Structure 1
Amino acid sequence: MLFLGIAMMPFYYISKTHSVPGYLQLRFGEGARALSAISFGFMTVLMSGVNMYSMALVMKVVLGWDINFSIWVGAATVGLYVMLGGLRSAIINEVLQFVLIWAGAALIPIVGLIEVGGWHNLKAQIAANLPHYRIYAHVVHSGLLLGEPDGRALDEHRLRARLCYQLRLLDHGLPRRPARAFGQ
């Protein structure tokens, strides 16, 4: 959404269009607009199905309702408030869902830390459950990046691969090459 708002909205505003298919029609022609509209419609149908099923699972767990009944109730509710409120109700619903999703995402780490007993208990539980990660505790805690012998920093993919390789060697009791901090 931020990318669309910051990067794409100026293009839409300048070209006086209101949608991605409309912009693609101006830029590439009618074929691009049709392909975009069809793929967007297909994606929307699939995404709606996933959303309806997810909502039905929540209703089954929370209310004990049958999945099929929950899907019909959800579809009827959404259809009713869109018919009664039009596009404005759909927009208000999207904004409300945005706020609820971000509030929930912000609460997850807070509730998780409370459940484990705080930051220090979390670190203690990780150290107890994953003893071979202690080797990298200083590197991770101090913020140093592992690097190549010539001083180049590793990208994220190569860093993960290097850590997995060294942890695998530790599990088998084989000698390993010491980890090198960036700039050493």
Structure 2
Amino acid sequence: ESNEKQGLKVSFHKARFGNKSCSSKFDPESSRWKCHVYDSDIDGIAQIQLLEYPWPGIEIPRDCLCGNVSEPVFISTKTARKVVINFIVTNMNITEDYSDYFFDATYEFISLQSENSCVNPWQSRRLRGSSGEITVRNVVQSTETIENVNQTMPLCVHQPWLIEPEDSYNNFIYLK
């Protein structure tokens, strides 16, 4: 767990996942590693999951690795103070051991000061109520006056939003 002005950099130096049918691919749109599992019912799974907890009890899957790692893989988090790494292996056979399934990784806390991190990232990003309107933009449009803009908006592009309904039975969200 880090403080609000720190992120976590995890370096995976080596990893083996046995003979499980899975591959890891980097998704440039989300800037995250994703697992593509084939025949998990038969073979089982072997993977490393990186999970972030931006709010208590709220889990966000971040990255997933399941293909053997021989070149270093670097993952930097920016959205949560609490990060959990799970190493999951199912359906091992009796001839497999720690030489078939393992990972070697290091971590370090990195400063987010230079990246203009959010001034108040969590309190202003958790919304609860029966109704309302939220406008989320990454940049200020030229027609807007500076008084009408949330001053932290351009600084918080990596932070998630949590929108919770007040009524647990009638939940609606409309996106434009």
Bigger-Rg structure (1/2): 1
More strand by share: 2
Q: Same fold (TM over 0.5)?
A: no
Q: Which has the higher contact order (CA 8 A, sep 6+)?
A: 2
What TM-score do the two structures reach when normalised by structure 1?
A: 0.18
TM-score by length of 2: 0.19
Q: Which has the higher helix share?
A: 1
